[in-house]
Amino acid sequence: MKTQLPVALALVAIATAHPTMADESAPAVTGNVALASNYIWRGMTQTKDEAAISGGFDLVLDSGLYAGVWGSNVDFDANDNIELDYYGGYSRETGALSYDLGYIDYNYPGGSGDFEEWYLGLGITAGTVDLGATFSFGLDNANDNIELSAGTELSGIGLGITLGDYDNSGKYTVVSASKEIGGLELSLAWSDFDADSGNSSDEDAVTFTVAKSF
């Protein structure tokens, strides 16, 4: 789920697929599916700028524990065309503050490049603005990542911005707008990736996503 900071799946092509806070009701299994014009992760396309279909399931306990699985098509080479992520963690909300501590295992069946991360997400609500920070710690020499985000709602439209720094790769910016219509979450996002010298290439994209939770 190459989404990390926990962002709504409506922005799955841009960001995180796991829940950011626990549901204070009975244990529940939820699902999600999304169709996007591109799969963007940390500012970089994972599908060579082609469309992506993704989806997953989450088990959320009222204790704050959660676990889930998420998958998408990708396009890296002849053997890397599927991504399957497994994750779990603990999240809580106290007043205007929230936190999310978890682990994610990124898998590419039949290919290479599997890796794992621990992550810590922190959030605060200030009036009508939600502010967040996510720190991802790569295991076994995988790169670390830092994201800062801000979001609000204006006339029924969700607006957000994310700034990230992916070690040894580059820095990225994502600006998004989303709205729920007829039970579907529609989102439009612009992303920009500035590669570190000698690494990758600069990228920018506009991505449209339609998502449904159930």
Q: Which domain holds residue 184?
A: 9-213
φ/ψ of 90, rounded to 5, equals -140, 130
Q: Is 10 helix (H, G, I), strand (E, B) or coil?
A: helix
The domain spanning residue 21 has which CATH number?
Answer: 2.40.160.160
Residue 148 lies in a domain: yes
According to the model, what pLDDT value does residue 8 have? Answer: 37
pLDDT tens for 64-121 read 999 999 999 999 877 789 999 999 999 999 999 999 999 999 999 988 889 999 999 9
Nearest CA-CA partner of 35 in 203, 149, 186: 186
**70 in Cβ contact with 211 (< 8 Å):** no
Distance CA 152, CA 123 (A): 13
Domain count, the chain: 1
Residue 4 lies in a domain: no
Residue 2 lies in a domain: no
Residue 182 lies in a domain: yes
According to the model, what pLDDT value does residue 132 have? Answer: 98
Average pLDDT over residues 37-56: 98
Q: Which of residues 42 and 25 earns the better pLDDT score?
A: 42
Which residues are paired to 124 by β-bridges? 97, 131
Task: Give the pLDDT band (50/70/90) at residue 137.
Answer: very high
Residue 138 has pLDDT above 50, yes or no: yes
Give pTM, 2 decimals: 0.88
* CB-side neighbour CA atoms (13 Å) of 103: 6
Which residues are paired to 135 by β-bridges? 120, 146
Average pLDDT over residues 173-200: 94
What is the per-residue DSSP string for 42-63?
A: TTEESSTT--EEEEEEEEE-TT
Torsion over CA: 162, 176, 57, 29 (sign) = positive
φ/ψ of 182, rounded to 5, equals 60, 35
Q: What percent of the chain has pLDDT over 90?
A: 81
Torsion over CA: 135, 16, 11, 85 (sign) = positive
| Mean of pLDDT over the chain | 90
Distance CA 6, CA 106 (A): 15
Distance CA 42, CA 122 (A): 18
Four-point Cα dihedral 2, 46, 152, 9, nearest 10: -60
Residue 101 lies in a domain: yes
Residue 119 lies in a domain: yes
Residue for token pair 């989303």:
178
Residue 202 lies in a domain: yes
Q: Which of 8-12, 60-64, 172-176 has the lowest mean pLDDT?
A: 8-12
Residue 180 lies in a domain: yes
Q: Which amino acid is at 195?
A: A
